[in-house]
């Protein structure tokens, strides 16, 4: 309780300081934004409660989480696009109806976002440079996409001034208050960094010398994006991170731990072929290549498409998209890891989220998973 009280007081003090900063969007408020979109105060507080739980904070933080959303318009955000497909922005912005997460992102002061801004050419570059200068030390930098470094970064040349993405990222990160790598491409390089990686693409953390919070996924859930913003507003510090600089509140458990098909795995009930009776009965997809036992994310809790579904619920196994180098280590996506286990990053990789002990535990778990599937198949073949 003492630790909880200390955290509460810290968050309250920070919110009071942020509230003193003039709103960046005059005449606007989160209350007005919610009302315009038919969202009641009750729904907003339910959202605050869910967000508080997702951030692994005590229930006493619910009013502060709501307050953090209300003062989010004091937080300037610069969003850069590097080598990517814009899918992470789409995850946040292209819901069938604007949810509270999307509305909060509309409500904050998004100073630069190439996909959304009306300006182009020299005007766009001027907006970026002016925002960096005006909000020096205050703005949050979000980077979507890997950073090509081959030919001194000239594989990605952006804007009217012809700067490389590498150069622009380094300049924007220098005075940022917090830096987030949005999506697997920015967090770990993504498909751009897959073998043979002709453009020498690197994750954001390898091209700048400041702390980076990785929010991987292809794409990540919009709640994981907004949740990090809310956490920063509340505390002004980095959340508890795993070995890959992912927030533990979002990436602390494996897909396998949270999967609604886990009971079928434990019972030895597996889909043997897409469309078979097991598939129709939602059996475990491990034999169809599901990488859930090796992947850390909260997809099953948050889901996608306005929280309607997620890949495993829809009938396809997890492809491990929130893990480093998954394009090279997780494929083929529709084949189980089995004897390819030792060619994956798990020994010294994802298991390190539990420090060195986790290497042994997850390694043993992975071997056990493969053995369980094989033995179950033998048992059923002999029946």
What is the structure's pLDDT at 291? 94
Asked whether the predicted pLDDT for residue 354 surpasses 60, the reply is: no
Asked whether the predicted pLDDT for residue 363 surpasses 60, the reply is: no
Q: Tell whether 85 is in a known binding site.
A: yes
What is the structure's pLDDT at 38? 84
Domain region containing 55:
2-250
Same-domain status, 316 and 239: no
Asked whether the predicted pLDDT for residue 233 surpasses 70, the reply is: yes
Asked whether the predicted pLDDT for residue 373 surpasses 70, the reply is: no
What is the structure's pLDDT at 361? 41
Same-domain status, 281 and 246: no
Q: What is the mean pLDDT of residues 195-208?
A: 96
Q: Tell whether 299 is in a known binding site.
A: yes
What contacts 192, CB < 8 A, 6 or more positions away? 83, 84, 145, 146, 148, 185, 199, 201
Same-domain status, 132 and 244: yes
Q: Which of 198-207, 303-312, 350-359, 363-372 has the highest mean pLDDT?
A: 198-207
What contacts 330, CB < 8 A, 6 or more positions away? 291, 294, 319, 320, 323, 344
Same-domain status, 277 and 223: no
Q: Tell whether 126 is in a known binding site.
A: no
Q: Structural domain tally of the chain?
A: 2
Find the range with the poorest average confidence among 174-178, 200-204, 341-345: 341-345
Asked whether the predicted pLDDT for residue 345 surpasses 60, the reply is: no
Answer for the pair 80, 169: CB distance below 8 angstroms, yes or no. yes
Number of Cβ atoms within 10 Å of the Cβ of 334: 14
Same-domain status, 81 and 62: yes
Same-domain status, 328 and 285: yes
What is the structure's pLDDT at 353? 33
Q: Tell whether 231 is in a known binding site.
A: no
Q: Tell whether 316 is in a known binding site.
A: no
Same-domain status, 179 and 293: no
Nearest by Cα to 215 from 330, 293, 318, 297 = 297
Asked whether the predicted pLDDT for residue 92 surpasses 70, the reply is: yes
Phi-psi map region of 382: left, alpha, beta (phi>0 left; psi -120 to 50 alpha): alpha
Q: Which long-range contacts (CB under 8 A, 24 or more apart) does 279-282 make?
A: 279/315
Q: Tell whether 175 is in a known binding site.
A: no
What is the structure's pLDDT at 158? 86
Tell me the average pLDDT of the chain: 85
pTM for the full model? 0.86
What is the structure's pLDDT at 367? 52
Q: What is the pLDDT of residues 139-162, one digit of tens each?
A: 999 999 999 999 988 999 988 888
- Which of 250, 282, 316 is at the close of a domain? 250
Asked whether the predicted pLDDT for residue 360 surpasses 50, the reply is: no
The model's confidence at residue 380, banded by pLDDT at 50, 70 and 90, is low
Q: Which residues pair with 296 in a beta bridge?
A: 254
Q: What is the mean pLDDT of residues 30-55?
A: 88
Number of Cβ atoms within 10 Å of the Cβ of 219: 25
| Cα–Cα distance list, 126 to 79, 82, 140, 160, 161 (Å) | 15, 18, 18, 10, 10
Q: What is the pLDDT of residues 210-230, one digit of tens each?
A: 999 999 999 998 889 989 999
What's 111's domain CATH number? 3.40.50.700
Residues of the chain by 3-state class (helix, strand, coil), percent to 5: 50, 10, 40
- Which of 250, 275, 294 is at the close of a domain? 250
Q: What is the mean pLDDT of residues 24-37?
A: 77
Same-domain status, 273 and 146: no
Q: What is the mean pLDDT of residues 249-266?
A: 94
- Residue matched to tokens 């043993």: 364
Answer for the pair 213, 238: CB distance below 8 angstroms, yes or no. yes
Q: What is the mean pLDDT of residues 21-32?
A: 77
Rounded distance between C-alpha atoms, residue 336 and residue 204, angstroms: 30
Same-domain status, 268 and 231: no
Asked whether the predicted pLDDT for residue 260 surpasses 60, the reply is: yes
What's 329's domain CATH number? 4.10.480.10
User: pLDDT above 90 covers what percent of the chain?
Assistant: 60
What is the structure's pLDDT at 241? 94
Q: Tell whether 19 is in a known binding site.
A: no
Nearest by Cα to 105 from 249, 187, 224 = 224
Same-domain status, 231 and 317: no
Same-domain status, 203 and 349: no
H helices present in 108-215, as ranges: 121-134, 165-173, 184-188
What is the structure's pLDDT at 368? 58
Asked whether the predicted pLDDT for residue 18 surpasses 50, the reply is: yes
- Which of 234, 250, 266 is at the close of a domain? 250
Q: Tell whether 185 is in a known binding site.
A: yes
Asked whether the predicted pLDDT for residue 343 surpasses 50, the reply is: no
Same-domain status, 237 and 225: yes
Q: Tell whether 284 is in a known binding site.
A: yes
Find the range with the poorest average confidence among 223-227, 261-265, 336-340: 336-340
């Amino acid at each position: 309780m003492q630790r909880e009280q200390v955290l509460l007081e810290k968050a309250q003090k920070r919110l009071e300081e942020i509230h003193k900063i003039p709103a960046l969007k005059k005449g606007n408020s989160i209350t007005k934004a919610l009302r315009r979109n038919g969202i009641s105060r009750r729904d907003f507080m339910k959202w605050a409660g869910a967000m508080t739980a997702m951030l692994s904070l005590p229930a006493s933080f619910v009013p502060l989480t709501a307050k953090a959303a209300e003062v989010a318009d004091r937080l300037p955000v610069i969003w850069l696009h590097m080598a990517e497909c814009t899918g992470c922005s789409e995850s946040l912005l292209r819901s069938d109806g604007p949810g509270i997460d999307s509305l909060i992102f509309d409500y904050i002061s998004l100073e630069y976002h190439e996909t959304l801004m009306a300006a182009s050419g020299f005007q766009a570059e001027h907006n970026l440079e002016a925002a960096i200068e005006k909000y020096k030390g205050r703005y949050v930098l979000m980077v979507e996409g890997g950073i090509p470094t081959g030919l001194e970064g000239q594989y990605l040349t952006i804007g009217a001034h012809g700067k490389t993405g590498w150069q622009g990222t380094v300049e924007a990160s220098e005075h940022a208050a917090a830096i987030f790598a949005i999506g697997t491409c920015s967090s770990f390089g993504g498909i751009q960094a897959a073998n043979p990686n002709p453009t020498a693409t690197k994750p954001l953390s390898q091209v700048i010398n400041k702390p980076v919070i990785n929010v991987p996924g292809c794409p990540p859930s919009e709640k994981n994006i907004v949740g990090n913003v809310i956490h920063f507003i509340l505390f002004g510090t980095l959340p508890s991170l795993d070995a890959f600089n992912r927030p533990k509140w979002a990436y602390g458990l494996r897909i396998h731990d949270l999967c609604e098909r886990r009971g079928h795995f434990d019972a030895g009930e597996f889909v043997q072929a897409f469309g078979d009776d097991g598939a129709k009965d939602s059996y475990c997809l491990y034999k169809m290549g599901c990488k859930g036992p090796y992947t850390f994310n909260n997809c099953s809790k948050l889901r996608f498409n306005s929280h309607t579904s997620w890949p495993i619920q829809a009938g396809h196994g997890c492809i491990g998209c929130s893990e480093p180098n998954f394009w090279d280590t997780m494929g083929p996506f529709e084949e189980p890891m089995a004897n390819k286990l030792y060619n994956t990053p798990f020994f010294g990789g994802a298991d390190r989220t539990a420090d060195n002990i986790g290497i042994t535990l997850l390694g043993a778990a992975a071997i056990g998973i493969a053995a369980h599937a094989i033995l179950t198949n033998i048992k059923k073949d002999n029946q």
